[in-house]
Structure 1
Amino acid sequence: MTMTTKNIIEKYRMLPAATIAEELNGVLNQHHAAVVVAPPGAGKSTLLPLTMLSRGIQGRIVMLEPRRLAARQVALRMAQMLGEEVGQTVGYQIRFEKKISSKTRIEVVTEGILTRRMADDPTLEGVSCVIFDEFHERNLQSDLAFCLAQQTRNILRPDLDIVVMSATIDATAICQALGAREVSCQGRMYPVDTVLAKEDISPGEIAAAVAATVGRAHCEQEGDILAFLPGQADIVRCAELLGTSLGATHVCQLYGNLPPQQQYEAICPSAQGERKVVLATPIAETSLTIEGIRIVVDCGFYRKLVFDPTNDLSHLETVRISKDMARQRAGRAGRVEKGTCFRLWTNATQQRMEEQRQPEIMDADLVPMVLEIAAFGETDVESLPWLTPPPRGNVVRAVKELRALHAVNAEGQITPLGRKMASMPCHPRIARMMLQARNLPEKSLACDIAAILEEKDVMAQESNVYSDLLLRVSALQDARRKNALGRWKRVGKVAAEYDRTVGIRPSNAYVAREDIGALVAAAYPERIAKALDHNGNYRMANGEEVMLDAADPLTSFPWLAIATLHAGNGGRGRAFLAAPVSSQSLDDYATWWDNVTWIAHQGGVVAQKEMRIGTLVVKTKPLGNVPRKLLENIICEAAKKEGKSMLSWTDKTAALQERVALVAQWHPELGLPDLSTDTVLMQPEKWLPFYLEKDGKVITTVSEMRKIDMESVLWNMLSYEQQQVVSRLAPTYIVVPSGSKIQLRYRNGSEVPVLSVRLQECFGLTETPRVNNGKIPVLMELLSPGFKPVQLTTDLRSFWQDTYFEVRKELRRRYPKHYWPDNPLEAMAQKGVRRK
């Protein structure tokens, strides 16, 4: 390339970015860092990289684009500006597609390609400048690459230029992080009239609402129309609804999975006198310039990949856009002349929308990111120069998953297997599955499974297909044998790319369900699932429960590997793709554990060796010679939780607890211990081990535990002196005149104990018995000969003198054979019927 900066600026002086090209080069020469803020269409993504290259730098420029379509189109536009083909001075590399030669000086890359390159070469040898385009989107890969580039610049390459570009971004924080200067320019934007809806729409109404609004705008306005919808399904549905209602106007679709030629047709300007409607995903918000657009229809939603750390699953959600996204979309209508933006939400909703989109790093699956950091050579994720630090909990979970995949070791350092995984253009789980395959048929099968899992399930809407992955693999192989992929075209293409990645030709050899299950288990070991019943309910190794349709043939298998599922909302999740796992494959993921635990419903301590996968038990065998100390610790821990049911708490035990509590209340100076059940069970290790031996062995069963005399245990928690004091101040019984020893009943919350005794046994007892050194009279519950209460009193003398005679009338009538003296104070006490 011989064109100079001045030549390029002169040729494209109509672009607003031409006014800042010289300033940008000066800032980079001085600071090696810059933040470029320029509106869409200003030429920042195309003109500025060319002017940076022409300032005489020796190395290459690598520009990171957040979207594949944008990367391809930006590279194509720069090559056209130079009058060259893509792959000469300007090239690009996206997933499964590369157009770069030895002459290439500007590389436009995306989808983790830059971070994988930095893992192989942290110094970025041969690279002079890294550009982060459309950085306001703040996707995970851009944040990670920005962080690693800073680390490289700070430690190894102070001469490395870093440029951040965006149309809508707060440049202050980035300038501070980079030690950079802001370079900005004004664009050529025309005013855009905004039309808000009178009613909000729900995600299920998007396609119909957009189609109706496009029809209205087509009638009322002139010019091409750009409509924003969340995803491919909404776009296809909207196109079907529009049909031929717009006459000769061409309806184009624009989303990432479209073939390049159809994408180009959507982007290129309309022919003179013709109109078109472009139904696009958020891919058209930035980077791509669609010429001729004067009308924008914005549904107000987008599809966001949300990671749920509670079950390590990611899923797409249709969510409301932020205000900055809305501004970006509306701006597309003001590039040619005055335009109009129809927003399908109300003013009230507008006020509630977030100002800025949240960086993806805050709620994304961090497993790929942490692996790439480990490949880069770092183990302390939090110490890196993040613009927005990732949540610590999500980082910890990601490291745990990578250890389960054997990608990193206990110190977080990458393993040889992990380095192979990091070099592959896919999620670490998919990479682990492909590396698990040992021979050609297995490798080909792994590539087919990877493609099926990454793409939309072609057979999802078919009845009686259910969740069996074998049906999908067989259908793909049949289509490939017949060389008629049809609806399997996209899946087949991805599978072929993976075949090339691992260096094989596709094999259509027969596969068994268990072959698929073994590979899925390698990718998702925590989703190995064990049947709970025969109705399709399973528990996975991570502890979560998942269900299949009860009619699914896979419900007959005891073990499955779940490939895709939706998490349950407080209940069981639902599996969509799965395969059986053989017992031989289970051995690869299981570990033997010694399990000694207390299980009440199994009768006490259970000691066994368990072959486990996560929370699932594959097989067991008895475990002998368990150390006594371990048994004691386990029983004591069980007592803390289940002590009220595993030990015997009788009425006598409760009576003792009440006596001691009452004496402690009367005489705090004695320092009596708290013998309440809850308090005693807080520290069973201090007393329970002394009662766990029988015939020289530790007792380990519930039935043996319940034979422990808890009254004796509690009594022995008192010193001898304390026992004597309690016995004297709060005796267990009182001897009445009949000679009977009547038990005192101590009550919770009352200082006065109760003596329930038949009235006849108290004849001759003139004073009420007392406790606590005579300070507290007991409550006499006087009973009839039939043990029915007839009187409560704490003043027995008064009872004999007054109330007794009234009571006697009724008792003598009911119990005529019993003795009812006229003078109970001097009469002889009786235990039963009066002797003749």
Structure 2
Amino acid sequence: MTFSTQDITKKCASLPASLIADDVNSALQTHHSLVITAPPGAGKSTLLPLTILSSLGDGEKILMLEPRRLAARQIAERMAQILGETVGETVGYRVRFESKVSKRTRIEVLTEGILTRMLVDDATLDGVSIVIFDEFHERSINSDLALALTRQAQEIIRPDLKVVIMSATIDACGICAALKAPLIESEGRMFPVELHYADEDTDPRDIAAVAASTTIEAYKKHEGDILVFLPGQAEIERCFELLSNSQHLNITISTPQHLNTTPPHHITTTTPHHLTIHPLYGNLSPENQRRAIAPSAPGERKIVIATPIAETSITIEGVRVVIDSGLCRQVVFDARTGLSHLQTVRISMDMATQRMGRAGRVAEGVCYRLWTKASEHLMAEQRKPEIEEADLAPMVLDTAAFGESDAEALPWLTMPPRAGVFKAKELLMSLGAIDENGNITPIGKRMAALPCHPRIARMILATTNLTTSTSQGVHLSQVHQQHLTTSTSHHHTTSLACDIAALLEEKDPLSETGGTDLTLRLSALRAARRKGQPGRWQRIAKIAAEYRRMAHTDEENRDPAPMEVGLLVAHAYPERIARSTNNIGGYRLASGANVQLDATDQQSAHSWIAIASLHSAPGATGRVFLAAPLDPEDLNAEFVKEVDNISWDTKQGCVVMQREQRIGKLMLSEKPIHDADKEQVKSIVCEAMKKDGLTMMAWSEKAVEQVQRRVTQVAAWHPELALPDVSTEHLLSTAADWLPFYLEEGGRVKSSVQELRKLNLAEIIWNLLPYEAQQEVDRLAPTHIEVPTGSRIRIDYRTGAEAPVLSVRLQECFGMERTPCVDDGKRPVLMELLSPGFKPVQLTQDLASFWQGTYFEVRKELRRRYPKHYWPENPLEAEAVRGVKRK
């Protein structure tokens, strides 16, 4: 079909985006990149791609990315309708497990992961002239990756490729600067929306009930269709149930079309209008999704209860009222544990604006916000790019498959967190997808070709190894071996992996009643298929069929062996192989984390399990949702590693030297090592000193402290001597420089606390000084001073004291005229004069003044307390004594 920009804009003249169509085409003639902003309802997603196509040459194609499958389908259908065609002719779409394109297709509407795989397969994007990133404000990790790969291709091999970023709310200036792109803005068409706030903030646990009551109130007060935003499927189903049973809406269920969902996908009323109520979320079938967004017939009204899937891109005509819960589900990835979990969080203001705008597309509308005006000030202005918090393993694998071993080298708008990239590489190496240099492996290439998480891809691709492992000499448990040889083929195992993959990717149908038994769910799925009545298993069965198609295997409906299920799960989640602990229901993961099963759960009877689904919050014991039993003897060398563990054990207080067989941090067996390298053992002891050194050697002994204080004191008095730092902190951090010399004796290495504490640490520290420095320290800071009785009294060099302290009994100082000095006579010591009972009676640095004055006051007290001792009137002429001297 041949058409021009004028033809399209004339046909869609009511859409505000028609006013910028010529500007867009002109900009693309002179720029490689372009940023377009337009409010919701302006027609940017449907009109502009068609007008851009009209300016291209024959055979040139456009790829247009949408963040959601529903939006991709609807936009493609709408563009085809404008052209008077069916989807799959000029305009088609490709989403996960679904495609409607032909050789004639020139605009392909894709979900983001599709483009990534196209770039991995052919970085030149042969035949593609323009890539459009629609609704880019959602900043999913897939859109960021697709843009980074497209820009890399544009910069290196496709300088003629054009990139267009489109969004309603976006940081246009920042993106324009990064892409060196001009900005074109459409004013759009938006009717006023009246805002209503709640009197108090709603507890997320009550949000479905509050949304239902607000919907009933709005239905009575206002005209038009109603769009209710709730965070997830569970809240939608609860709200649906409350509305369907409401007396206020006079609803009666009229021949619902269940499509195997509970509750039914919609209900209708008979009075006063025809009213339909539709849930809308990602897991619904395309037929139910289309029915939810279809225009209401004349005389009908409808209520659509949706997740954020309805925020942007898709159009639900006739909506005049929006009920906004202010909540959404967010996948939170914990880089510390390597696990992700869904969390209900408050939306950002840009999301709230998008939702509100749905009420003002066709006429004046109303938006009920189920939060207070005051709490709105606490909401973030913009949502965070998903790349800042997401699991980066799929992104790193796609990057490696693209040919870039360093993910950080790509031209990102937002740089992925370094810690997240490191964790992703660790996981991918454990799955065998990349090597230590970040380069993709042969099996990694096969994993990247599958449209699923690398874990799931590894499980599906592992099945060949499982069915051939016996020929490679890998031991399997007797029960499992018998099962494989009698009833298992490659196709059987691959089919089972496909069923597990589908089950893990979708909502668990038995989450309320099935405990944690994954095998039970697989048996239920297969039983439903055998009967030809998939019921609530329909979507899971469909996805499993898609995986079987890609894996070239047949459907299998026999009950699976639990141990075989566990072995497949172990390939997807090697760090979640778990061994029971002493606590009932308690398990330790190969990653080192602890998790808990209900003591009544049947899985807790197994010593080993492989966990497919769990929730783990930082600092808390994880909770298991899905698991299967596992025989560790079935695990080959891919899982079981033999390592020499030569390390310092703080609890035992020694170097542990043993050869271990391990699955991650789980011990299978151990035996001692008697020929460990001596230098390695010394190095380990020295390294342990940095952390545990205070308890490993006798640092608190008086002799050790005195050596350190003397050297430190002289170093402070005489910096020119450049004495070494002998502080405990410094010596612990530099143990490798001085300790190894003292560790070996008689051909063996001292490797325990008991042996280390016997070392003469004071002597070791003193010997760190050169001989000349020792001489200087002895001269300037002697260890003892001789008093008139002939006693050698130790000098106490105290940390932080202004002068060294000489603690001596007063009687031994009779006849000593002057205060003793150190540092070549420059620094008098502080004399702590003691009673016969060694109690301090006076502190002085001026002994001569003491004898002339204060001594006589002290003498009175000492005569009273120690009457048997000699306290002369003239201490300078008296004989110094150590003990009692008769008067």
TM range (shorter): 0.7 to 0.9
CA distance in structure 2 between the aligned counterparts of 1:452 and 1:699, rounded to whole angstroms: 56
Q: Secondary structure at the match of 1:225?
A: strand
Which residue of structure 1 aligns with residue 498 of structure 2? 447
1:314-347 CA distance string (max 9 Å, x none): 2222223333333322222223322222222333
Which residue of structure 2 aligns with residue 41 of structure 1? 41
Which residue of structure 1 aligns with residue 540 of structure 2? 491
Which residue of structure 2 aligns with residue 565 of structure 1? 614
Q: Secondary structure at the match of 1:576?
A: strand
Q: Secondary structure at the match of 1:589?
A: coil
Distance 1:411 1:228, change over 3 A: same
Which residue of structure 2 aligns with residue 66 of structure 1? 67
Which residue of structure 1 aligns with residue 388 of structure 2? 362
Q: How many residues align?
A: 824
1:388-426 CA distance string (max 9 Å, x none): 333333333323322222222233232221111111111
Give the one of 625, 639, 650 matched to 1:576. 625
Give the one of 642, 651, 658 matched to 1:608. 658
Which residue of structure 1 aligns with residue 200 of structure 2? 199
| 2:499 equivalent to 1:473 | no
CA distance in structure 2 between the aligned counterparts of 1:23 and 1:756, rounded to whole angstroms: 97
Q: Is the 8 A contact 2:815 2:880 kept in 1?
A: no
Q: Secondary structure at the match of 1:91?
A: strand
Which residue of structure 2 aligns with residue 630 of structure 1? 680
CA distance in structure 2 between the aligned counterparts of 1:742 and 1:387, rounded to whole angstroms: 73
Which residue of structure 2 aligns with residue 482 of structure 1? 531
Which amino acid in 1 is paired with 2:575?
Answer: E
CA distance in structure 2 between the aligned counterparts of 1:25 and 1:661, rounded to whole angstroms: 77
Q: Is the 8 A contact 2:32 2:162 kept in 1?
A: yes
Q: Secondary structure at the match of 1:263?
A: helix
Which residue of structure 2 aligns with residue 639 of structure 1? 689
Which residues in structure 2 correspond to 1:380-779 (within 5 Å)?
380-438=406-464, 439-462=490-513, 465-584=514-633, 585=635, 587-649=637-699, 650-660=701-711, 673=724, 675-720=726-771, 723=774, 747-748=798-799, 749=801, 751=803, 753-754=805-806, 756=808, 770=820, 772=822, 776=828, 779=831
Instruction: State the 1:530 CA deviation.
Output: 4.1
Q: Secondary structure at the match of 2:595?
A: strand
Q: Secondary structure at the match of 1:116?
A: helix
CA distance in structure 2 between the aligned counterparts of 1:656 and 1:57, rounded to whole angstroms: 89
Q: Is the 8 A contact 1:57 1:128 kept in 2?
A: no
Instruction: State the 1:681 CA deviation.
Output: 3.4
1:257-276 CA distance string (max 9 Å, x none): 11222222222222222221
Point out where structure 1 has 5 or more consecutive residues left out of the alignment: none
1:422-460 CA distance string (max 9 Å, x none): 111111111111111122222122112212211122222
Distance 1:456 1:730, change over 3 A: same
Q: Secondary structure at the match of 1:421?
A: helix
CA distance in structure 2 between the aligned counterparts of 1:181 and 1:720, rounded to whole angstroms: 75
Distance 1:586 1:617, change over 3 A: farther
Distance 1:50 1:667, change over 3 A: closer
Instruction: State the 1:116 CA deviation.
Output: 0.7
Which residue of structure 2 aligns with residue 222 of structure 1? 223
Q: Secondary structure at the match of 1:441?
A: helix
Distance 1:320 1:605, change over 3 A: closer
Instruction: State the 1:589 CA deviation.
Output: 1.9
Superposed CA RMSD: 3.6
Instruction: State the 1:730 CA deviation.
Output: 5.8
CA distance in structure 1 between the aligned counterparts of 2:435 and 2:733, rounded to whole angstroms: 39
Which residues in structure 2 correspond to 1:274-289 (within 5 Å)?
274-289=300-315
Distance 1:810 1:551, change over 3 A: same
Instruction: State the 1:120 CA deviation.
Output: 0.9
1:699-719 CA distance string (max 9 Å, x none): 222222222122332343445
Distance 1:588 1:10, change over 3 A: same
Which amino acid in 1 is paired with 2:40?
Answer: P
Instruction: State the 1:80 CA deviation.
Output: 3.2
Q: Is the 8 A contact 1:738 1:831 kept in 2?
A: no
CA distance in structure 1 between the aligned counterparts of 2:227 and 2:410, rounded to whole angstroms: 40
CA distance in structure 2 between the aligned counterparts of 1:400 and 1:275, rounded to whole angstroms: 53
Which amino acid in 2 is paired with 1:329?
Answer: R
Instruction: State the 1:778 CA deviation.
Output: 7.6
Which amino acid in 2 is paired with 1:751?
Answer: A
Which residue of structure 2 aligns with residue 315 of structure 1? 341
CA distance in structure 2 between the aligned counterparts of 1:319 and 1:70, rounded to whole angstroms: 23
Q: Is the 8 A contact 2:37 2:186 kept in 1?
A: yes
State the identity as a percent: 51
Distance 1:150 1:792, change over 3 A: closer
Q: Is the 8 A contact 2:612 2:626 kept in 1?
A: yes
1:723-766 CA distance string (max 9 Å, x none): 5565566665667787776666665536354455696xx59867
Which residues in structure 2 correspond to 1:16-35 (within 5 Å)?
16-31=16-31, 33-35=33-35
Instruction: State the 1:174 CA deviation.
Output: 4.5
Which residue of structure 2 aligns with residue 156 of structure 1? 157
Q: Is the 8 A contact 2:40 2:168 kept in 1?
A: yes
| 2:333 equivalent to 1:330 | no
Is 224-233 or 672-681 further displaced after alignment? 672-681
Instruction: State the 1:570 CA deviation.
Output: 2.5
Q: TM-score when scaled to structure 1?
A: 0.88
Q: Secondary structure at the match of 1:588?
A: coil
CA distance in structure 1 between the aligned counterparts of 2:125 and 2:220, rounded to whole angstroms: 54
Q: Is the 8 A contact 1:194 1:342 kept in 2?
A: yes
Point out where structure 2 has 5 or more consecutive residues left out of the alignment: 251-268, 270-274, 465-489
Q: Secondary structure at the match of 1:460?
A: coil
CA distance in structure 2 between the aligned counterparts of 1:669 and 1:807, rounded to whole angstroms: 46
Q: Is the 8 A contact 2:788 2:816 kept in 1?
A: no
Which amino acid in 1 is paired with 2:661?
Answer: M
1:169-209 CA distance string (max 9 Å, x none): 45455455555555554444333222233333232232122
Instruction: State the 1:505 CA deviation.
Output: 1.7
1:209-237 CA distance string (max 9 Å, x none): 22122111111112221222222222111
Q: Is the 8 A contact 1:568 1:574 kept in 2?
A: no
Q: Is the 8 A contact 1:647 1:706 kept in 2?
A: yes
Instruction: State the 1:666 CA deviation.
Output: 6.6
Q: Secondary structure at the match of 2:521?
A: helix
Which residue of structure 2 aligns with residue 123 of structure 1? 124
| 2:246 equivalent to 1:246 | no
Which amino acid in 1 is paired with 2:351?
Answer: M
Q: TM-score when scaled to structure 2?
A: 0.83
Is 719-728 or 450-459 further displaced after alignment? 719-728
Q: Secondary structure at the match of 2:638?
A: helix
Q: Is the 8 A contact 1:226 1:293 kept in 2?
A: yes
Distance 1:474 1:10, change over 3 A: same
Distance 1:801 1:52, change over 3 A: closer
